[in-house]
């Protein structure tokens, strides 16, 4: 029996704009991210969901709360939807990481699946955490639709699972803030329905000052 997922990356943060590695550092939404979350409420209005889950990191949780505030459904925390822990590279831009820890940054760029950032999470371990967690939610809501708010790294793992891309090859797909990503899960298999739908965000950005 299929479970349909709508997976949504959190709205923009200042660190997203700065291209700074957030990982599990708890950064809140910026003004653009708040507007994106409000736009999600309109985009999701016509869809019914049996449950809503979110990463417990503030940027995802805030996005979820704004997006579903008009619905009579609670947001449930799902720590398995947290972003990957990037260890020694968290808080750094690419340029800063390359200077502060060139060996770690090289392994990061290579997507080495066993490298754990010295104090973080390897890609293999992260992917297992994400896919196991989502499979549990799918089993819990078999035959229904689930809305889940999460992070770019989580979406990266799920997209690869649905398309057969290896986790250690370069990314060639987008992971937009507050975009809608639709997938079906059944019998241990993912099927991609629609990816990176961000049509609802155009008006949201127009409302920002300046």
Active site amino acids: 10, 83
Separation in Å, CA 158 to CA 121, 133, 151, 161: 17, 11, 11, 5
Tokens describing residue 40: 């999600």
């Amino acid at each position: 029996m299929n479970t349909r997922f709508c997976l949504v990356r959190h709205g923009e943060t200042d660190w997203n704009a700065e291209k700074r590695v957030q990982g599990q550092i708890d950064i809140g939404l910026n003004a653009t991210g708040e507007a994106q979350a409000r736009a999600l409420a309109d985009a999701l209005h016509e869809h019914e969901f049996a449950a809503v889950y979110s990463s417990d990191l503030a940027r995802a949780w805030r996005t979820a709360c704004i997006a579903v505030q008009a619905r009579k459904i609670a947001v449930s925390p799902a720590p398995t939807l947290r972003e990957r822990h990037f260890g020694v590279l968290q808080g750094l831009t690419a340029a800063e990481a390359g200077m502060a820890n060139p060996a770690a940054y090289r392994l990061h760029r290579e997507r080495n699946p066993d490298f754990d950032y010295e104090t973080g999470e390897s890609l293999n371990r992260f992917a297992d955490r994400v896919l196991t967690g989502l499979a549990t939610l799918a089993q819990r809501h078999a035959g229904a639709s689930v809305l889940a708010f999460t992070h770019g790294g989580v979406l990266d793992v799920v997209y690869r699972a649905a398309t057969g891309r290896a986790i250690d090859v370069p990314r060639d797909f987008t992971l937009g803030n507050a975009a809608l990503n639709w997938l079906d899960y059944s019998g241990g298999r993912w099927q991609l329905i629609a990816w990176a739908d961000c049509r609802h965000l155009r008006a949201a950005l127009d409302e920002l000052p300046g």
